[in-house]
Structure 1
Amino acid sequence: MRSSLCSGPFILQFILSALFILKTSLHAIASDPPLTLDYYASTCPTIFEIVRKEIECAVLSDPRNAALIVRLHFHDCFVQGCDGSVLLEDTITLQGEKKASTNRHSLKGFRIVDRIKNQLESECPGIVSCADILTIAARDAVILVGGPYWDVPLGRKDSVTASLPLAEANLPKPNEGLMSIISKFLYQGLTVTDVVALSGAHTIGMARCESFRERIYGDFEATSEKNIFSESHLNNLKSICPPLGGEDNISAMDYVTPNLFDNSYYHLLLKGEGLLNSDQELYSSVLGVQTSELVMKYAADPLAFFEQFSDSMVKMGNITNSDSFVNGEVRKNCRYVNT
């Protein structure tokens, strides 16, 4: 059951508004070239077909691949903007982001991106950036598991840098509190509505025991309904994730429809069964007045969720790296800066 906090919501709203204004002002200082829907119309007209076919093959072979691609896109955009930096490997002269604590065990799908890039290099050499590939691939992956369509603005360049420290600082963590999560989204120019809508991507995908152990041995019982089904689910989670060991054991974040992009995730939050603490906080936190209302809205109206998710994905995809527009490139290999 949710509790209330008298003046908390007003203080929270003031802080969030101030952070958002600050971030918006910082973005206004630099004017990046606009992204456009027809960026590759003349230079690589088959781009969408090539990406779709490769993603279709990957998702049909394993539906979990859809979540892997969406996660890659998210983790890319929250560090230096959507610039393909998450794809870079460590080299003698460059430290990538893959070994950050939030990425080390959770990011996969790199070979899928490699296959798409190889196809595009054969068809349109030196034209399509890896950052744009990730953006289109995430959209197509969502569609293939039942999610909504949205138009994808294009024209990003690949960065020649990466930032492990920013990956550590900017990416939300599984056991993080609501205020910290919201602040990280606001820093990217995203709103509280975007937080709740984009979190809905957890309707697909898996989480490692290490990410949800604290939750299931912590307040899961307190937030969940007291019935035989909830107790059975918790017991199952504990069998997957013991108090010690089994860090790599996995469970679906939405155990009801794990391979279908729908609004089931929000129904689980209403029942107090969010797998990650960062998920359940959206509904159960005493500070979550606005987020809990949005959770209830998306649980009741799947169309509203789909519409907002689409809008929020475009907004997230438009987080740009100003430096990459000036000093960036189109990588020949998504894992390495061009030589």
Structure 2
Amino acid sequence: MATSMGSLVLLCLVSPLLLPSVVLGHPWGGLFPQFYDHSCPKAKEIVQSIVAQAVAKETRMAASLVRLHFHDCFVKVGGPYWDVPLGRRDSLGASIQGSNNDIPAPNNTLPTIITKFKRLGLNVVDVVALSGGHTIGMSRCTSFRQRLYNQTGNGMADSTLDVSYAAQLRQGCPRSGGDNNLFPLDFVTPAKFDNFYYKNLLAGKGLLSSDEVLLTKRAETAALVKAYAADVNLFFQHFAQSMVNMGNISPQTGSQGEIRKNCRKLNNGH
């Protein structure tokens, strides 16, 4: 196996290790944790080393890799351990429109989010557990501005937002301009993978509308938010399982697809 940067990035694609090691007993459907044991015995160590370097240089990279896994099917930032099923090959094509249609948006309603997950074989537990990935990472002002200034123009924030939190956000996210200003999705521990995302929701301090609706729009999702806020180990357990579930969304294996030498393009250069 080549050890070029392209290949290392590829390994991040097929095994986004937020740190491996709990056997989950899940049917892996053609993928398995030992996929590289013979062809590249040090694959996990290589990935962990490169990811650790990347996160040390830019903390946001941890969140970017989780989201990359989300798009491809989401490091010492803490978090759960699990065996990552490997062997998912790269597709021979890509669809921006398909990605935009399938990936939940920051302003989607809860029924829309749940429907998008169900289309891919994921359930409500997966919705709430994977949303916990927002315990790390940042969001642009343009993704939540509508929650700070309602349509009547009176400057009042979304009633589900904590008043002091909304005022703090408005300081860096004006009514116009500053679209790309960044804000932590978890303002308490933005660089640590923990359950403060859920604790923030209970305090009215969830940044995105798609976060807030988990608590306010459906009893089943609200119960999970409260359970994860109270028990970080339960969150870690469910998050790990849901990451495996997501990695098993229609994987190409065997002779399907290809293993790209450069993740940015097909091997034939197109």
TM-score category by the smaller chain?
0.7 to 0.9
The answer to whether 1:223 aligns with 2:160 is yes
Would you say 1:276 and 2:208 are equivalent positions? Answer: yes
- Counterpart position of 1:165: 97
Identity %: 50
| Secondary structure at the counterpart of residue 183 of structure 2 | strand
Asked if the contact 1:209–1:247 (Cα under 8 Å) also holds between the matched residues in 2, the reply is yes
* Structure 2 counterpart of 1:300, one-letter code: A
Q: Find out whether 1:304 has 2:234 as its counterpart.
A: yes
**Whole-Å separation in 2 of the counterparts to 1:39 and 1:233:** 46
AA partner of residue 338 (structure 1): N
Partner of 2:33: 37
Residue 56 (structure 1) aligned with residue 73 (structure 2): no
1:214 maps to 2:146: yes
Q: Verify: 1:70 aligned to 2:66, yes or no.
A: yes
TM-score normalised to the size of structure 2? 0.83
1:243 to 1:306, Cα distance in 2 relative to 1, 3 A: same
On the 8 A contact 1:175/1:214 being kept in 2, the answer is no
Which of residues 189, 198, 201 is equivalent to 1:257? Answer: 189
Counterpart CA distance in 1 for 2:256 and 2:38 is 23
Unaligned runs of 5+ in 2: 1-27, 151-155
Q: Provide the C-alpha distance between the structure 2 equivalents of 1:217 and 1:275, rounded to a whole number of angstroms.
A: 14
Q: Output the TM-score relative to the length of structure 1.
A: 0.67
Aligned to 1:233: 165
Provide Cα deviations, 1:211-236, integer angstroms capped at 9, x if missing partner: 01012224854113xxxxx4332112
Mapped contact 2:29–2:248 kept (Cα < 8 A): no
Looking at structure 2, the residues matched to 55 and 184 of structure 1 have their Cα atoms a distance apart, in angstroms, of: 29
SS of equivalent residue, structure 1 residue 223: coil
Equivalent residues in 2 for 1:131-142, closer than 5 Å:
141=75
Q: Which residue of the other structure, out of 194, 197, 207, is the alignment partner of 2:129?
A: 197
Shift of 1:62: 2.2
- 1:169-193 deviation digits (Å, cap 9, x = unpaired): 1010101100000000111100100
Q: Which residue of 1 aligns with 2:248?
A: 318
Q: Residue in 1 aligned with 2:262?
A: 333
- Stretches of structure 1 that go unaligned for 5 or more consecutive residues are 1-31, 78-137, 225-229
Counterparts of 1:165 and 1:248 in 2: how far apart (Å)? 23
- Give the whole-Å Cα distance in 1 for the aligned partners of 2:251 and 2:229: 34
For 2:102, give the aligned amino acid.
Answer: N
* Residue 21 of structure 2 corresponds to residue 46 of structure 1: no
RMSD: 1.7
Distance in 1 between residues matched to 2:254 and 2:111, nearest whole Å: 32
Question: Match of 1:294?
Answer: 224
Relative to structure 2, which stretch is displaced further, 173-182 or 63-72? 63-72
In structure 2, C-alpha distance between the alignment counterparts of 1:202 and 1:177, rounded to whole Å: 17
How many equivalent residue pairs?
236
Distance between the aligned counterparts of 2:149 and 2:240, measured in 1?
A: 34
C-alpha distance in structure 1 between counterparts of 2:80 and 2:209, whole Å = 26
Write the letter of the residue equivalent to 2:248.
N
Match of 1:130 in 2: none
